[in-house]
Amino acid sequence: MGGDALIQIEGVTKRFGAATTLDALSLDVARGEFFALLGPSGCGKTTLMRLVAGFETPDAGRIVIDGVDMAGTPPHRRPVNMMFQSYALFPHMSVAKNIAYGLVQEGLPRADIDARVGEMLKLTQLEGLEGRKPHQLSGGQRQRVALARALAKRPKVLLLDEPLGALDRKLREETQFELVRLRERLGMTFIVVTHDQDEAMVMASRIAIMSAGHIEQIGPPAEVYDRPRNRHVAGFIGEINIFEGEIESDPQGGLRLRGPLGVLRASGGAGGPGGAFALRPERLRLSRTPVAADNMLAGIVRDVAYLGDSMAYRIELADGSILRARSGGAHAQRFAAGDALHCAFDAADVILLAGDGS
């Protein structure tokens, strides 16, 4: 990210007792980004966020925000604000007092505080609720109060810890787009922590996929989906089929994999030891009769699920393994359980996964 990095995390290690939660992790977040830290629970993403906010101190490494090393800077002096997963609204204060809290600490004049609170109420569509106490609000309203309170101080960086985790599905989807629009309007840098890949894909301009205290891959949503680097990323983002075997270069160009299903071909790339081929389910072409293709697998449909916009199949292959396939569109041919199918895919659609530890 070069000179425009607003947050630089350099070799940060955090241990709790004997467990290493973050292992020499480095990461840059650019100014104005909507950055997502994505990973399963326990991968260290929340710890990383708490280190940025200042609630924890790193055992090694440093965190630089806007060119200033944050070592020794307590949470109340950091130019970041956080929206808590539990919202952490002050139960004894009204909505307006909650939103004003950070501004009062700053010692702004009363009139400025009132103006800013009014602005925030409008921004988060909470007008008319300013006199309520948190326990008199719905879950969605509370979420917006938490957001308004964290935004009120106009921090350089807004940290969002599982911001939509407590909302129901419909509200969650609406709010995802709202957050994206909000960030564009305010031009602030947002860092969101989530375990929900859809949420990260919808909102973020860049995603860091974390596991066991380190980062597996960083990139825009399309990149991590289309070109996952290893089995972990491939498995965490979307559905995928993984073919194991020995990878070698193909005399006819590209690579080939020898495995229990015979020989599969992939175009381009270089295979490393321990690597594998992977394929997204929607890249398969299913038919009852064989067609000409780079790769062809025969199988029997075991399970069918109708998903509205597409059909999901689980197909048993010759070696007993299960292949996931998706066919979309209203005019796609449909198959039933028990049908014998040919599953074709192009060498160009094959994703090459690196071996573990590379």
Least Å distance, CB 80 to another protein, is 8
The answer to the question of residue 170 lying near another protein (CB under 8 A) is no
The whole-angstrom separation of Cα 115 and Cα 122 is 11
Nearer to another protein, 55 or 177 (CB): 55
The answer to the question of residue 213 lying near another protein (CB under 8 A) is no
Nearer to another protein, 104 or 270 (CB): 104
Tell me the window of 149-157, 189-197, 267-275, 324-332 that interacts with another protein (CB under 8 A): 149-157
Helices (H) and strands (E) in the chain, counts: 8, 21
The answer to the question of residue 177 lying near another protein (CB under 8 A) is no
Least Å distance, CB 75 to another protein, is 4
User: Which residues have C-beta within 8 Å of that of residue 249, sequence separation ≥ 6?
Assistant: 255, 256, 271
Applying the rule CB under 8 A, the residues between 96 and 115 that interact with another protein are 101-102, 105-106
| Stretch (H or E) spanning 52 | helix 45-53
Least Å distance, CB 94 to another protein, is 9
Nearer to another protein, 54 or 221 (CB): 54
The answer to the question of residue 165 lying near another protein (CB under 8 A) is no
Nearer to another protein, 108 or 296 (CB): 108
The answer to the question of residue 136 lying near another protein (CB under 8 A) is yes
Q: What are phi and psi of 278, to 5 degrees?
A: -140, 155
SS3 283: helix
DSSP-derived letter for residue 347 is G
Residue the block writes with tokens 């299913």: 286
Virtual CA dihedral for 356, 209, 73, 71, nearest 10 degrees? Answer: 20
Distances (CA, A) of 170 to 140, 142, 183, 220: 11, 16, 21, 25
Least Å distance, CB 123 to another protein, is 17
The answer to the question of residue 192 lying near another protein (CB under 8 A) is no
Nearer to another protein, 151 or 208 (CB): 151
Nearer to another protein, 19 or 318 (CB): 19
User: Which residues have C-beta within 8 Å of that of residue 213, sequence separation ≥ 6?
Assistant: 20, 21, 22, 23, 25, 43, 44
Least Å distance, CB 68 to another protein, is 16
Report whether 237 contacts 227 (CB < 8 A): no
Strand-strand pairing, 189-194 and 157-161: parallel
Nearer to another protein, 80 or 341 (CB): 80
* Secondary structure (H, E, C), 111-144: HHHHHHHHHHHHHCCCCCCCCCCHHHCCHHHHHH
SS3 203: helix
Report whether 134 contacts 145 (CB < 8 A): yes
Nearer to another protein, 76 or 185 (CB): 76
**Which string of x and - marks every residue 51-90 that binds another protein (by CB under 8 A)?**
--xxx------------------xxxxx-xxx-x-x-xxx
Nearer to another protein, 30 or 93 (CB): 93
Residue the block writes with tokens 């006819």: 252
Q: What are phi and psi of 212, to 5 degrees?
A: 45, 45
Applying the rule CB under 8 A, the residues between 244 and 283 that interact with another protein are none
**Which string of x and - marks every residue 303-342 that binds another protein (by CB under 8 A)?**
----------------------------------------
Kindly determine how many residues on this chain lie close enough to bind another protein according to the rule CB under 8 A.
Answer: 28
Least Å distance, CB 91 to another protein, is 7
Reading the block at residue 321, the tokens are 């393994």
Least Å distance, CB 33 to another protein, is 20
Nearer to another protein, 47 or 81 (CB): 81
List contacts with another protein (CB under 8 A).
Answer: 53-55, 74-78, 80-82, 84, 86, 88-92, 101-102, 105-106, 133, 135-136, 149-150, 153
